[in-house]
């Protein structure tokens, strides 16, 4: 008995250690550690708040479970959360570190560790703001032009974290202009953007979409062309059109390129010259080709000035030649007839006679002999001018008068 009690405390310690080692050996043989990745959820989020950054994401969890249970465990057997009720809203939206809580939904499973054990998260209060709707149609094809965009609403409400909503300057409706020139009429989702046009994420827009309408048409171009008066009829007898001027002499028309191709002039309404005998100015409307319009609307009327003068014509007479200044001498023209061409108003020829256009050659002071003289005409009626005498020189012979034979004196 004394032998058993001697050093009893050492013997008791040995027994206890052996028991612990045996128990650990048995325990380790029936349990095992495994890992699972869990999506971290959020709980306890204050009302009217939003997570700005630091969304928990995923956590790697190491757990210990009995061997007969391990094979039945899935990610659905655990729950990983971050409790936002621990977030100090008085410091919002300052980043704050919160623990990741992992629990097993199955009894007998021990959570050994989690990675990461904490997350840094930012929470902010939710606010709203009204912003204008702006249509962005990008680059317009060179062959097209667009009208002012129209939307069914001019303002929308954006909602989100205050730090994000403060960045929103406008809500943009983006559309493309088709090269075919089709009119835009479609529903477009709005995108909140900042002053620089950069998108602002995690902000809701109400309404989320608008109807956009844009008139699209081919680009009109300009073309400068001359103005030409249209005239008909003739002036009064004896008068002719001397000049015709128009102001403006050119106009700029506007229209589609295929319409302007080939247009070289713009006509006025028809002007009738019948019965005119003096200068006169008329105001005439321009006749624009179909599909065109004037660039300057005040040029729709042209001022046309008509210059009228007596009509001028020419006439040729075949007449004889008259000698003048021969005195007692005889004057013998070498040509019986010459051609005389005169010109003037038509009315001046009405009563013009051959005698009035008969040329003369002046032999005054010439000794008997043969000469080549230039004929002339004097005393033409007013308005009639001499154009030509053909030929321009006439052979003329001046002959002295014959000496009479003496009469014999009778004998006594």
Cα–Cα dist 114/137, whole Å? 51
Check if the beta carbon of residue 114 is closer than 8 Å to that of residue 80: yes
3-state SS track over 290-308: CCEEECCHHHCEEEEEEEE
Higher pLDDT, 18 or 393: 393
Q: Which of 356, 331, 333, 336 is nearest to 344 (CA)?
A: 356
Determine the Cα–Cα distance for residues 117 and 101; give it in Å rounded to an integer.
8
For residue 204, how many other CB atoms are within 10 A of its CB? 14
Residues forming CATH 2.170.120.40 domain(s) in the chain = 125-218, 221-310
Asked whether the predicted pLDDT for residue 23 surpasses 50, the reply is no
Contact 127, 59 (CB under 8 A): no
**Beta bridge partner(s), residue 238:** none
We find that the CATH architecture of domain 2-116 is: Beta Complex (2.170)
pLDDT given at position 192: 97
- Which stretch of DSSP H or E encloses residue 271? strand 265-272
DSSP alpha helices (H): ranges in 237-280? 257-260
DSSP string, 2-48: HHHHTTHHHHHHHHHHHHHHHHHHHHHHHEEEEEEEEEEEEE-PPTT
> Is the domain defined by 221-310 classed in CATH 2.40.37.10?
no
Distance from CA of residue 313 to its chain's centroid?
57
- Residue intervals of the chain classified under CATH 2.170.120.30 are 2-116, 313-399
125-218 fold? RNA Polymerase Alpha Subunit; Chain A, domain 2 (2.170.120)
Cβ pair 219, 194 in contact under 8 A: no
Average pLDDT of the chain?
Answer: 87
Q: Are 36 and 63 in contact (CB under 8 A)?
A: yes
pLDDT tens figures, 240-263:
888 999 999 999 999 888 888 888
Second-level CATH architecture of 313-399: Beta Complex (2.170)
The residues with which 167 forms a beta bridge, in sequence order, are: none
- Measured CA to CA in angstroms, residue 83 lies from 5, 44, 195, 275, 364 at distances of 58, 5, 35, 106, 145
pLDDT tens, 38-92? 999 999 999 999 888 888 889 999 999 999 898 899 999 999 999 999 999 999 8
Bridge pairing between strands 31-43 and 58-66 = antiparallel
The predicted pLDDT at position 18 comes to 47
Distance CA 317, CA 377 (A): 13
What is residue 86's predicted lDDT score, i.e. its pLDDT? 92
Calculate what percentage of the chain has a pLDDT beyond 90: 51
Statement: residue 4 has pLDDT above 60: no
Band of pLDDT at residue 21, cut at 50, 70 and 90: very low
Which residue in 124, 53, 46, 49 sits closest to 92, CA to CA?
124
This prediction has a pTM of: 0.46
Q: Please give the structure tokens belonging to residue 256.
A: 């589609």
Distance between CA 360 and CA 323 in Å, rounded?
A: 6
Indicate the helix (H) or strand (E) that contains 173. Answer: strand 170-174
Query: What per-residue confidence (pLDDT) applies to 258?
Result: 81
- Give the chain's largest Cα–Cα span: 248
% pLDDT > 70, the chain: 90
Q: What pLDDT score was predicted for residue 286?
A: 94
Pairing status of strand 184-193 against strand 280-287 = unpaired
**Tokens at residue 286, please?**
């321009």
Q: What are phi and psi of 320, to 5 degrees?
A: -85, 180
pLDDT the model gives residue 17: 56
154-209 pLDDT, tens digit each: 999 999 999 999 999 999 999 998 877 788 999 999 999 999 999 999 899 999 99
For residues 144 and 176, give the distance between their C-alpha atoms in angstroms, rounded to a whole number: 12
- pLDDT band, very low/low/confident/very high, at 410 (cuts 50, 70, 90): low
pLDDT tens for 208-230 read 999 999 998 887 889 999 999 99
Question: Is the four-CA dihedral 88, 89, 91, 95 of positive or negative sign?
Answer: positive
Asked whether 94 and 121 are in contact (CB, 8 A), the reply is no
C-alpha closest to that of 209 among 186, 234, 238, 225: 186
153 and 133 in contact (C-beta within 8 Å)?
Answer: yes
């Amino acid at each position: 008995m004394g032998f058993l009690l001697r050093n009893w405390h050492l013997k008791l310690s040995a027994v206890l250690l052996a028991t612990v080692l045996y128990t650990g050996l048995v325990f380790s043989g029936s349990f095992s550690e495994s890992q699972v990745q869990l999506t971290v959820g959020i709980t306890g989020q204050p009302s009217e708040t939003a997570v700005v950054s630091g969304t928990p994401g995923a956590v790697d969890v190491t757990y210990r479970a009995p061997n007969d249970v391990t094979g039945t465990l899935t990610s659905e057997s655990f729950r990983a959360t971050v409790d936002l009720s621990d977030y100090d809203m008085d410091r919002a939206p300052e980043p704050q570190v919160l623990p990741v809580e992992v629990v097993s939904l199955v009894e007998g499973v021990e959570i050994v560790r989690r990675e990461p054990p904490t997350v840094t998260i930012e929470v902010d209060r939710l606010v709203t703001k009204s912003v204008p709707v702006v249509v962005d149609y990008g680059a317009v094809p060179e062959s097209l032009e667009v009208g002012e965009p129209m939307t069914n609403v001019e303002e929308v409400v954006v909602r989100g974290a205050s730090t994000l909503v403060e960045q929103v300057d406008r809500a943009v409706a983006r559309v493309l202009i088709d090269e075919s020139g089709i009119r835009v009429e479609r529903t477009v989702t709005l995108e909140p953007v900042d002053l620089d046009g950069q998108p602002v994420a995690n902000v809701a827009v109400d309404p989320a979409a608008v109807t956009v309408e844009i008139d699209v048409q081919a680009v009109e171009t300009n073309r400068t062309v001359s103005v030409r008066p249209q005239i008909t009829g003739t002036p009064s007898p004896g008068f002719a059109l001397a000049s015709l001027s128009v102001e403006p002499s050119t106009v700029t028309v506007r229209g589609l390129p295929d319409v302007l191709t080939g247009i070289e002039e713009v006509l006025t309404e028809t002007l009738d010259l019948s019965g005119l005998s003096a200068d006169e100015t008329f105001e005439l409307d321009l006749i624009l080709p179909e599909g065109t319009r004037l660039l300057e609307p005040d040029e729709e009327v042209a001022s046309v000035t008509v210059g009228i003068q007596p009509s001028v014509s020419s006439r040729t007479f075949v007449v004889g030649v008259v000698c003048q200044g021969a005195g007692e001498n005889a004057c013998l023209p070498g040509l019986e007839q010459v051609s005389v061409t005169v010109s003037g108003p038509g009315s001046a020829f009405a009563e013009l006679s051959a005698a009035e256009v008969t040329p003369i050659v002046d032999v005054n002071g010439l000794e008997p002999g043969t000469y080549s003289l230039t004929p002339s005409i004097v005393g033409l009626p007013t308005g009639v001018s001499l154009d030509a005498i053909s030929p321009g020189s006439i052979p003329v012979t001046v002959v002295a008068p014959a000496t009479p034979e003496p009469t014999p004196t009778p004998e006594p």
